[in-house]
Structure 1
Amino acid sequence: MTDSTQYSAMERPVITVQQGKLQGIFEDNVLGSRYLAFKGIPFAAPPVGELRFKDPKPPASWEGIRDASKNADVSIQLQTLPFSSIIGSEDCLYLNVYIPHNIYRTTRNPVMVFIHGGAFLVGNGNDINKRPDYLMAKDVILVSINYRLGALGFLNIGHEEVSGNQGLKDQVAALKWIKENIEIFGGDPNNITIFGVSAGGLSSHLLMMSPLSKGLFHKAILQSGMAKCFWAIAENAEDKAFKLASILGNDSKNPSEVIKFLQTIPANNIIKAQYEVFTPQEARIANIPFGPSIDEKSTKPFLPYPLSQLFDNEIDIPVIVGCTSHEYIMFVKDTTQETLDTTYADLEVYVKKFTNLEDSKKIARLTEKVKEHYFHNKPPTKENIPSFIRCLSDIAFSIPVKSYVNDQRKKKRAPIYYYNFSYVGNEMNNTKYILNEMPMIGASHTDDMAYLFYQPIYKANDLEPPAIGTKDRDVLEILTTMWTNFAKTGNPTPAVDEYVTTIWPPATADSFNLLDIGDTLQLLTITDHSIFEDSEDL
């Protein structure tokens, strides 16, 4: 660093980024020591008024010293747990930078950029529910970002004025800001790793494919979400845009008229109405009314071609990719017979979405094979809820991830590390039991997050981190060590230590390696095939 960008010696350090001066704050780490936080940093102009639905614009400069000790607003959304009230604001394009105390005066530190999940409808990158404490013990700089969600972030009306993927372009804008400014914080602009879970993992993968994000990052970690998942790309995006306008009172089919109309509607009304564009079946299966779409009509498209073509243009960087052992536990809403019957009847739709088959006879045959393989052709009952979870976890997550790794390992490109997170511990007590009715059978969707981030929302009974010597603490150390090793060097296990006891080799053309992260670390070699891979109908 030059003298002009040195951190101040006072308790509230001040640094200078391109837009002006920022004053951060030291915070205590639950694992001990401290870290320096700069919060609520604008990386783009507020997307309000005429900028609603538009591509992000550069942030304005400011005079004086901007207080960066508090979180800025999150993207406007329906509050989870339960969906009862609206939180956040359209003015949401802010990011947060966290620097471990022991490296904040040093330079060229590895940078990890966290992209939050939430089905592109909810969630945020602020540290209210996901604090960076665990990663701050591993000598990396962490940046967490916010981006537009729902219809405000993904409306695609098939016109260059509003062509979708605004939220993904927000992520690009954040990455550009990080690339241009992170050196001031002590970060290395040439060693940036993006990572996320669920929609955050998918976002990271789509960033690998987009021509807009080339050169902005150097490694990626895709957790429980990537572009081969059937839910990755929104279907009938233009129809849903017009349907949203109709629900809100405008039946025009003229894109320009609809855009102008929707720019006059209170954001709260749009957030409430966006859930109504789905049929009941679409709501059960797709769950993402407004998400990523092919935006070839944009003047600056994020996804200019179909995914099949974009896979071929994916940037060649080291990747960690995987999922949890029983992803679908999170999505079990209830265990009534009516719900079980409905889900069983929906299997044919899941199969169609997963395979992209159009031949109804082939879809029917494959659906019968699914019912035989997972349910032994028995009617759905509470006793075979684990079969539902295994089946839908495979279709929505596990098989697409495995297929992607299988494709990539044969190309002899940059290393790809494949994992399965199967550990069931005490940190994620929100999904430890399915509706408190049956014991946990494996790791649910997002359970791995509890060992990367300190999440006080899930620790109502004991706010302390896992104690040293417990299995939960072992897994915390294993996951944060491997993830940050990868960010530092591109290799999650350059050496073994007291926690990481196994070298994790990448999947290669010669060896389809998988690391199972459970009670112990187990290196496996994949040899089995799914019923979809073995089916003559595909």
Structure 2
Amino acid sequence: MYLLTFCCLYSSLMFVYSENPRVTINDGELEGTTMKTKDGREINVFLGIPYAEPPVGKLRFKSPVPMKPWKGTLDATKSHTMCPQRIFFINSEVMGDENCLFLNVYTPKIPSENSKLLPVMVFIHGGGFLFGTGRSESYSPGYLLDQEIVLVTLNYRLGALGFLSTDDDASPGNYGLKDQALALNWVNKNIKYFGGNPSSVTLFGESAGGASAHYHIFSPLSKGLFHRVISQSGTVFNIWAVMPEGRNIKSVIKLAESVGCPTATNMEMVECLRHVNALKLVDDRIFSVLNEAMPLPFRPTVEHPSQNAFLADSPANLFESKTFNDVPFMTGITKEEGLISSSVFANKPELLKKLSRNFNNITALLLWYDHVDDPNTIREQLKTYYLGNKNSLTIEDFPNLINMHGDVAFTSGFDEAVRMHLRESKKPSYAYFFVYQSESSFSELIDPGKIHGVSHGDELLYLFPMGDTLLPHRKETNTDKKVMKLMTAYWTNFARTGNPTPTTDDLITAKWEPVGSDKLEHFFIDAEIQKMKNELLPDRVKFCRELPLKPKKVHRDEL
């Protein structure tokens, strides 16, 4: 969720300006460019393709509108703008432009009349629904396009602009997810012109992007537009992935008051917010607990009944009523999921002291369980289980803080998602545990020069060449290269066949079997060890399963 999609904005691409490729789609002609992959393969690149009208003015806080056709040739050789956002972990200023609903297409070849169409992979970036971008500088195709696939990356609205909801017709919410659904519609109609098969589309994403990909399984707006899903370190069942019932309006009122908008009625409040500068609306610092902690004031939500609802009921209810898009599913976590969020405490004794003094309130907000009926009981259980009920925390407690955050925020949601798919889905589900520890990690961005484990997001380093400038001191080892080959093979095999290991060979030496029982069979991914295991972190998972996380309802008149 925290993934540092955004810090990669300056990574290099190897563009090769030769005769530019051209493609004519339903909306008009595009002129792209070419680049070379990590292994030197020349591919066709089409950047900054608009898939929706700019969501500005009256279209702010509305479902996206498909892009109108254009005349002439659209320049698709340059990166597009990013959506308005602020990157919390570098305490950046807000940046971006509301006219941001663009996507990118990367293809090995422009098809001829009788060409065989290739599987399509559509990537959704993470960033806590607050920040991130699908720009090519962040998610280059340099690894994946050495495989026979077509890759699509995209932008979607973020923060208040993407997820503000009043739980009624004033602003139903889920605009960022609706953007993604419209992008999938675009893929369905146009990807054949790039050599992609619209009947073989795999959605994949990491963190909030993983949860987003998972959400499409439960949306009627996405039905028939995709055929497989990979959710990396994020599912709809993660505690941070959905806004608790009754909490939307609290965030909207706080935002409205901060920019001087009236709050007497929802309609009046939202209409005023339509006229506020977009960058003011995505500045989330008014919601901060600690400067280094990420608030999540705007998230996906169960919408009130309407014709264009993206999510009409909770995923659990939709599972049980068999009202979902049943497709093969793959999901997993890294070994130290809580590392990035916990790293803020690594070299800051004053923050550890602050956490010790106010463990109750800070932990509830940092782990997003402040909405439950009995947060005090949860706090006591967490403190006892992970910290031995200590009242004064030191740096020696850092590994336990990592486990606490990782388990509550990531492992428990992963566990629930796998078990729900096992029980309710007729399609295979595959689970993984990524444990490969390199000499580089995204945790270095929070605690420079130190590797504390396998961080949230570290698996992305082996799917996209993100670390080239994000981690400038990174030296890619031969083992790193092997893991990259493994990861791209697993992911693209799944996109082609619905099975990450349809065959074994010198590279892939073990079969990855689907989950088949409550033992939660999963694939252990390391450089030298590829094998199936049972019972992922059983004691910690059992503890989290028994936490009383029942939400407390809050109504507008209580605020």
> Structures share a fold, TM > 0.5?
yes
The partner residue of 2:339 within 329, 336, 343 is: 329
Code of the residue aligned with 1:372 in structure 2: it is T
- Please give the residue correspondences for 1:12-27 in structure 2 after superposition, counting only pairs within 5 Å: 12-27=20-35
**1:401-457 per-position Cα deviation (integer Å, ceiling 9, x unaligned):** 1222123224462111001111111343x42486248x5342111111110001133
8 A Cα contact 2:364 2:370, kept in partner? no
Code of the residue aligned with 1:397 in structure 2: it is F
CA change 1:337–1:300 in 2 (3 A) is same
1:453 and 1:413 map into 2 onto residues whose CA distance is 31
State the match for 2:129 in structure 1.
Answer: 120
State the match for 1:388 in structure 2.
Answer: 401
2:159 and 2:142 map into 1 onto residues whose CA distance is 29
- Please give the residue correspondences for 1:203-222 in structure 2 after superposition, counting only pairs within 5 Å: 203-222=212-231
The partner residue of 1:257 within 268, 272, 276 is: 268
1:421 aligns with 2:429: no
Higher relative contact order (CA 8 A, sep 6+): 2
**1:177-203 per-position Cα deviation (integer Å, ceiling 9, x unaligned):** 100111111111110000000110010
- Please give the residue correspondences for 1:105-504 in structure 2 after superposition, counting only pairs within 5 Å: 106-235=115-244, 236-272=247-283, 274-276=284-286, 278=287, 280=289, 287-312=295-320, 313-331=323-341, 332-335=343-346, 336-343=348-355, 345-346=359-360, 349=364, 358-359=373-374, 364=377, 367-378=379-390, 379-411=392-424, 413-428=426-441, 430-432=442-444, 435-436=447-448, 439-455=450-466, 456-461=468-473, 466=476, 470-504=478-512
Q: Quick one: percent identity of the two aligned structures?
A: 34
Shift of 1:513: 1.1
Which range moved further: 309-318 or 187-196?
309-318
1:61 aligns with 2:69: yes
Question: CA RMSD, aligned part only?
Answer: 2.7
What secondary structure is seen at the aligned counterpart in 1 of 2:167? strand
8 A Cα contact 2:110 2:193, kept in partner? no
8 A Cα contact 2:412 2:545, kept in partner? no
State the match for 2:14 in structure 1.
Answer: none
8 A Cα contact 1:516 1:524, kept in partner? yes
1:436 and 1:206 map into 2 onto residues whose CA distance is 34
8 A Cα contact 2:294 2:366, kept in partner? no
8 A Cα contact 1:352 1:358, kept in partner? no
2:547 and 2:437 map into 1 onto residues whose CA distance is 36
8 A Cα contact 1:427 1:472, kept in partner? no
2:420 and 2:179 map into 1 onto residues whose CA distance is 30
- How many pairs were matched up? 517
1:533 and 1:158 map into 2 onto residues whose CA distance is 30
- Please give the residue correspondences for 1:34-45 in structure 2 after superposition, counting only pairs within 5 Å: 34-45=42-53
State the match for 1:4 in structure 2.
Answer: none
What secondary structure is seen at the aligned counterpart in 1 of 2:275? coil
8 A Cα contact 2:439 2:451, kept in partner? no
1:356 and 1:240 map into 2 onto residues whose CA distance is 13
What secondary structure is seen at the aligned counterpart in 2 of 1:156? coil
Shift of 1:518: 2.0
State the match for 2:83 in structure 1.
Answer: 75
8 A Cα contact 2:120 2:196, kept in partner? yes
What secondary structure is seen at the aligned counterpart in 2 of 1:158? coil
Shift of 1:375: 2.3
Shift of 1:304: 1.3
Which range moved further: 119-128 or 81-90?
81-90
What secondary structure is seen at the aligned counterpart in 2 of 1:238? helix
Long gaps (5+) in structure 1: 1-9
What secondary structure is seen at the aligned counterpart in 1 of 2:338? helix
2:197 and 2:174 map into 1 onto residues whose CA distance is 28
8 A Cα contact 1:160 1:297, kept in partner? no
1:396 and 1:206 map into 2 onto residues whose CA distance is 17
**1:4-33 per-position Cα deviation (integer Å, ceiling 9, x unaligned):** xxxxxx821211111101111111223211
2:446 and 2:75 map into 1 onto residues whose CA distance is 43
1:156 and 1:403 map into 2 onto residues whose CA distance is 26
2:419 and 2:318 map into 1 onto residues whose CA distance is 17
State the match for 1:32 in structure 2.
Answer: 40
**1:188-245 per-position Cα deviation (integer Å, ceiling 9, x unaligned):** 1110000000110010111111121111100000001111111111241122112211
CA change 1:80–1:100 in 2 (3 A) is farther
8 A Cα contact 1:318 1:415, kept in partner? yes
CA change 1:304–1:257 in 2 (3 A) is same
**1:96-130 per-position Cα deviation (integer Å, ceiling 9, x unaligned):** 00012598883321000000111111110011122
8 A Cα contact 1:411 1:509, kept in partner? no
Shift of 1:471: 0.8
Which range moved further: 493-502 or 176-185?
493-502
2:240 and 2:545 map into 1 onto residues whose CA distance is 23
State the match for 1:7 in structure 2.
Answer: none
Task: List, as ranges, runs of 4+ consecutive aligned residues in structure 1 with deviation greater than 6 Å.
Answer: 102-105, 283-286
- Please give the residue correspondences for 1:503-518 in structure 2 after superposition, counting only pairs within 5 Å: 503-509=511-517, 512-518=520-526
State the match for 2:13 in structure 1.
Answer: none
Which range moved further: 169-178 or 302-311?
302-311
8 A Cα contact 1:419 1:515, kept in partner? yes
State the match for 1:6 in structure 2.
Answer: none
2:255 and 2:98 map into 1 onto residues whose CA distance is 18
Shift of 1:531: 4.0
CA change 1:458–1:248 in 2 (3 A) is same
Which range moved further: 186-195 or 229-238?
229-238
**1:271-292 per-position Cα deviation (integer Å, ceiling 9, x unaligned):** 22x431x2627x8877211121
What secondary structure is seen at the aligned counterpart in 2 of 1:133? coil
CA change 1:525–1:84 in 2 (3 A) is closer
